[in-house]
Amino acid sequence: MKLSQLLEAFPEYQGIKNDTQVTGLHYDSRKIEPDNIFVAIRGHKTDGHNYISQAIENGACAVVAESESNIQSKAIWIRVANSRQALANLANKYFGNPSNKLCLIGITGTNGKTTTAYLVENILKANGLSTGVISTIDYRYHDRAFPNPLTTPESLDLQRILHEMTSNGITHVVMEVSSHSLALDRVMGCAYDVVVFTNLSQDHLDFHETMNDYWHCKQCLFGPPYISQKQHAHAVINCDNKFGLALYPKVQIPQILIGTHETNDVSCQDPKISLSGMSGSIETPKGPVSLKSFLTGQHNLQNILCATGVGIALEIPIADISSGISQTSCIPGRLERLTAFSDRFVFVDYAHTPDALENVIQCILQFKTRRLITVFGCGGDRDRGKRPLMGKVASSLSDLCIVTSDNPRSEPPEAIIHDICKGINSDALYKIEIDRKKAIEMAIHESCSGDVVLIAGKGHETYQILKDRTIEFDDRACALSVR
């Protein structure tokens, strides 16, 4: 694509005549090659504006930045008010507006995004649709999976992935939409056919500062420009959550309200839930959907109802919705049972918010016959306000808590644990073990036949982020190594 064509994304630069054939677009100066465009964006730890000289030395034909040029160069300098928005607009144009060629489903909420994405993926596949997924765990299509370092990739990477999927015959894409991606304009340029709200509870207040800011950010997905470009766009909203009840009156497109109460469009009353799964009947505007699932817990029932709502919005046959739900079994790191422990229950779960931890523990409490031992911690350089809340939840509902490290990053693990312990009940039984491997070993050695061990916080993750390095670490592998 010619540089002059890409500059059409910026009205004030449309008069520039330049026939340079742009060979690439990057926000990392190290990746710049001759006739690439470099977009300088401000990150959490570094600022791309500090690397403009390197990008020009590497051959950038144009630089997009928020500052004035003070560098003598042949490269065209494009000054913008917001370089993140500029990157999103350029990426969308460079890759040919890929979301307009897809049926795009966006799922947002504090908890349940990944599970709901898996469920929707299987419902679409049951209908014979060629489906891709962009999730916290990975991005995948055609039985191929690729690492995804962010829940929602940077706009350039996201548009590249969507383009890659359309080029390989994918017609439907299910993606998790994080609050960070909305605040940082990563999903700008995406046109959604269905947007889903799972729930909202405290998280990410290190980034958003207040719950009101966090809530406002989530709401953005349900308004222009994300839902105004597709003619038949729908919203699926969980009304079992108080924020869902507050959201639906504000949404201006057709909605499918889901929840356990019969007044919702999609509902399920009195399902049979056990540790091995759930069954029942889901009521929908298109008729009842037979519910048979390997997933368990009230929180997963809400995820199933959200996915069913997506199926109804896309006019997927009832039988295929039911089939997709039943085909969704174990989701990596989501109440994942390690069956090697045959005489006791050992679960690994991604729960890293107070609400998620309470949900998963309440699910286990319905079925436990003996003790519950919970291993958990809180991430460093993240929302400090949730630390005592998680301490309170775990100590109130567990027979024994083992407080440990969970991606401490630049913070001393002892300081994080101190914050957690402020919320632990005075009469609770708990232990502290900073080393996460030793904490997991301690929990399993403490457990007896019939006990439940819950290892919470990291789920599918295969690393531990320390102050000066990232090491390989997998809760599942660690637990399975205990003898």
Instruction: Write out the binding residues.
Output: 29, 44-46, 109-115, 151-152, 178, 186, 382, 406-409, 457, 461
CA–CA dist 97, 106 (Å, integer)? 16
Residues 373 and 398: their CA atoms lie apart, in Å, by: 6
**Euclidean distance between CA atoms 276 and 271, whole angstroms:** 13
**Binding-site residue ranges for ATP:** 109-115
Of 5, 9, 8, 39, nearest to 22 (Cα)? 5
Nearest to 361 by CA among 325, 333, 396, 310: 396
What residue numbers does the annotated binding site for meso-2,6-diaminopimelate cover? 382, 406-409, 457, 461
* Alpha helix stretches (DSSP H) within 171-313: 179-183, 205-208, 211-219, 242-247, 298-313
Distances (CA, A) of 474 to 332, 406, 440: 12, 11, 11
User: How many Å apart are CA 434 and CA 431, to the nearest integer?
Assistant: 10
CA-nearest of 129, 135, 123, 127 to 161 is 135
CB atoms within 10 A of CB 450: 12
Q: What one-character-per-residue DSSP string does 436-482 give?
A: HHHHHHHHHHH--TT-EEEEES-TT--EEE-SS-EEE--HHHHHHT-
Q: Identify the DSSP state of 42.
A: B
For the record, the structure tokens of 82 come out as 């917001």
Cα–Cα distances in Å, from 342 out to 360, 384, 409, 482?
21, 37, 35, 14
Of residues 320, 308, 300, the one with CA closest to residue 283: 308
* Residue 448 CB coordination number (10 Å): 10
Q: Strand pairing of 272-274 and 266-267?
A: unpaired
Instruction: Report the DSSP beta bridge partners of residue 25.
Output: 37
